[in-house]
Amino acid sequence: MVYKISVSLDHSSYDIHIYNKFSSNLSIPTIILNNKNSVIITNDTVRSIIAKKKYTYINKIIKNIPFFTIKDGESYKNLQVVESIIHFLLEKSYGRDVTLIALGGGVIGDITGFVASIYQRGVNFFQIPTTLLAQVDASIGGKTGVNHKLGKNMIGSFWQPNGVFIDINFLFTLPREHIISGMAEIIKYAIIFDKKFFIWLEENLLKILSLQEKELLFCIKKCCELKARVIQNDEKENNIRIFLNLGHSFAHAIETYTGYGKWLHGYAVSVGIIMASYLSVQLNLLHECNFFRIVKILYNIGLPIKGPKKMLPDDYILLMLRDKKVLNKIMRLVVPVDIGKVKLVSSVKESVLLNSIRNCQEQIYKF
C-alpha cells in the first residue's frame, strides 16, 4: 500500500487506499473475499481488460466472485439498468448480507452505489475505481444515482462506500482522452481550494498526462485528501460541499443537451469551469488575468474550452434551471473569485447570464 486516507463520518467512516499495485497488499483480497456474498458490478470494457494476462493479479482476487456486467457508457446510467441489477440479485436470492463491488469508472460507481442504497433498504458496497476521474472524485463521498432524459444525476441518494481501493495501474489501460477528461476534475480541486496545487499542476502537467508514478500518486492523493476533508465537514451538501460543483451546472447542461456519453464528463466540466470563471469576471469578482490562467491550463491539457457549436445560451439556461442547486427557482452558481478560492452566487439576472455565456463562446483565446 502506498497511501491510506480516512474519511471520518458519524455513522459511515471508511478508508481510501491508494496503490501502485494492490495485489502486493493483502487488505484487498482479505476484505473482498471475506464477504462470501459479494457481487462485482462492472462493464464489458473493464471485464475484457482484466481478463488479459497482464492482470492476472486482479483475477486471483476476484476469480470466485460472481459478475454482473453492463454495457460501457454514460447512456447506460439509467433506471432500466438499475432494475436489471436488482432483478439479478433477487433472482439469485441475495439477501441483506450481499456486498456489491463497483469495478469501473464513475458510471459503474454511481449505479452500484445507488443499487446498494435501495436494495433491501441498504447493503454494503466497495469502490474499485478504474478511471482517473473516478479515482480523484466520483468514487469518494457517497453521491450515487442515475440520469433522467431531462437531467443528469436527477435520481439518486447519498450512500457511503465501505471502502475505496485505488490502483493506478488501471490508468494505463485508458484511452488518452479519458486521462485528459479526469484532469478537469483535478484542476477543479486546485481552483476551489489550493493555489499552490494549481501552480504545481501548471509545472507538472506533462508528467501527469504521461502517467509518471511519483506525480500521479501525489496528484491522486492530494485530490482524495481535499475531498475527504470536505465530506467530513459536509456529507449531505448543506454547506461547503456545494463548492465541488464548480462548472458542473454548465457541464450537466451540455451533457443533457448533447445526449449522455457524447461529451466526456471532464470535457463538459472544462467548458463549465471556463463559463463560471467568465461569469465571475463579468460580476467583477475574478481578475481577468486569473481567468486566462484557468483557460490556459485547461487548454494546455487538451481539454475543450468552448461548448457545442449548436448549443445556444437559451439552451443552457433552460437545462440549468433544472439543476439540483436551484432552490425556489433561484439559480445558485459556484464561481471562482481567485485561484484557490470560490463563492456561491445567486440571483444573477438571466440577461447577465445569457450575455456571459454568449460572449464566452465568442471569445477568441490566443496562447
- Domains of the chain: residue spans and CATH: 3-173 (3.40.50.1970), 176-362 (1.20.1090.10)
With 0-12 / 13-18 / 19 or more C-beta atoms within 10 angstroms meaning exposed / middle / buried, residue 183 is buried
CB 143 within 8 A of CB 116: no
Which pLDDT score is estimated for 117? 98
- Cell numbers standing for residue 331: 439559480
Which pLDDT score is estimated for 49? 85
Which pLDDT score is estimated for 52? 74
> Is the whole model's pTM more than 0.75, yes or no?
yes
Per the annotation, binding residues for Zn(2+) are 185, 248, 265
Report d(CA 308, CA 186) in Å as an integer. Answer: 23
Report d(CA 284, CA 255) in Å as an integer. Answer: 28
Per the annotation, binding residues are 72-77, 106-110, 130-131, 143, 152, 170-173, 185, 248, 265
Helices 176-193 and 213-233, packing angle to 10 deg: 50
Question: Within the chain, which residues score under 70 in pLDDT?
Answer: 1, 21-35, 53-57
Which pLDDT score is estimated for 231? 97
Which pLDDT score is estimated for 325? 76
Provide the annotated active-site residues: 121, 143, 185, 227, 237, 241, 245, 248, 252, 265
Residue-wise pLDDT for 240-250, tens only, equals: 999 999 999 99
Which pLDDT score is estimated for 327? 74
Per the annotation, binding residues for NAD(+) are 72-77, 106-110, 130-131, 143, 152, 170-173
